Amino acid sequence: MKASKSKPTVNIGLCGFGVVGQGVWRHLKEKSEVFEKKLGSLFKISRVAVRDMAKEREIDLDPSLLCEDPLEVANDPEIQIVCELMGGTEIAREVVLAALSKGKIVVTANKALLCFHGKEIFEAARKHGGHIFFEASVAGGIPIIKALREGLIANRFSLIYGILNGTCNFILTHMEKEGQSYEVILDEAKRLGYAEADEALDVDGWDSAHKASILAFLAHGKWVSTDEMLVEGIREITQEDFAYANKFGYSIKLLAVITRDFETDRLFINVQPTLISRRKVLANVDEVYNGICVCGDVVGTTFYMGEGAGQNATASAVIADLADAVSVLNGSKHPLFSGEISPVEPNEENSLKVSTLGEVMSKYYIRVAVMDIPGVLAKVATILSNNGVSIASVLQQEGTDGTGASIVLTTHKTSEEAIQKMVKDFETTDSVLSPPVLLKIGEFED
């Protein structure tokens, strides 16, 4: 990138030079003149922290730019913007706090870092006059952070829900289309690079939970820990579940749902596989794409869709934050991202409470594998009745192995607390062969 005599240069330090870091470098270099014209400043990557300086990379870096200690980048007085793209939470937290303690601007794509340490990080920004930007932490290239913090600022949000993990969406899409098992499609996702070698963070719902925590903070000013959420993954879903969903016009998606009841001042976050009507746009978001619905009291429902991960999508979001960072350096104020104010009314976080499981209501799909013996359906019905769970429909089918049977039920609205008690009762019943598979039935307004 050529230096500019007439326009100021903004020095950027990259902490992490993996897929995303290299994408940011490449796009900044290829579009340097465009950014200079649009922003009035020239981006210059001055330092790059890497794990292994001897490693061969597709991008040929000047060795003088490299270091192995990301804290060197965070503490470098010449660097104005620190880009944290390492992942993980321990070292990343140290780097972010070190940069903010010096009043620097930090750009991060690290959803886990913000989920676990967001409150501390924002406090550090407020205390030291730093700024934190994190558009790339949720939904990749979809500008959902900017939409919530700026475009929809007039709104209060009763409901935000969506597909926040591309790996799970790919697996569910291809299980449905190809009729293959979870294990077969997971292997395919790993082969294509859509799933990590250790897929647990994605398929068990935690990645979506980290992102939902960030969205809840932006919408409601409260950090909700994963311990306060209801988080379930997709490992137990089978072709039996897709057959039922297809029969009744549903698709199965792993949804993160943030619900706010303004009358009771309660907030709840759940991440669960959900049956959603094919008439809904979100039900038709397939492959590795993400989709998010935001329900505001002024605008109504808005919908956002795009690539939720990958080098280019994430780099796009990082560079958008860099552009906002330049505005700050040029005198524009972003009080939310310096921690000076809450994104909601003063003191609202103190009054807002997380809902109890007894307050969380939904309809459910339940599939139970049972012994194919007389009276088993009556036992199942009794367990539901004893827990106050009302049956809406029931279907019994012979099991695929010829020895057992599957009972598929749907319920009227009931509490998550009652459902969890019901599951425990099933697990101690001799005629039940395995824990039931539960899917929420999503009923969302258009």
Q: Clarify whether 247 is annotated catalytic.
A: no
| End-to-end alpha carbon distance in the chain | 47
What does the CA dihedral 182, 188, 190, 193 come to, rounded to 10 degrees? -130
Sign, Cα dihedral of 31, 35, 38, 42: negative
Closest by alpha carbon to 59, among 11, 19, 12, 32?
Answer: 19
d(CA 126, CA 368): 52
Strands 81-84 and 414-415: unpaired
Residue 114: what residue type? L
**Active site residue: 211, 222, 280, 379, which one?**
211
Question: Residue 411 has which token pair?
Answer: 């319920």
Question: Residue 169 has which token pair?
Answer: 């969406």
Give the 3-state secondary structure of residue 33.
Answer: helix
d(CA 66, CA 219): 39
d(CA 136, CA 35): 19
Question: Residue 424 has which token pair?
Answer: 């425990």
**What are the C-alpha distances in Å from 402 to residues 26, 237, 370, 371, 406?**
58, 20, 12, 10, 11
d(CA 190, CA 30): 30
Active site residues: 211
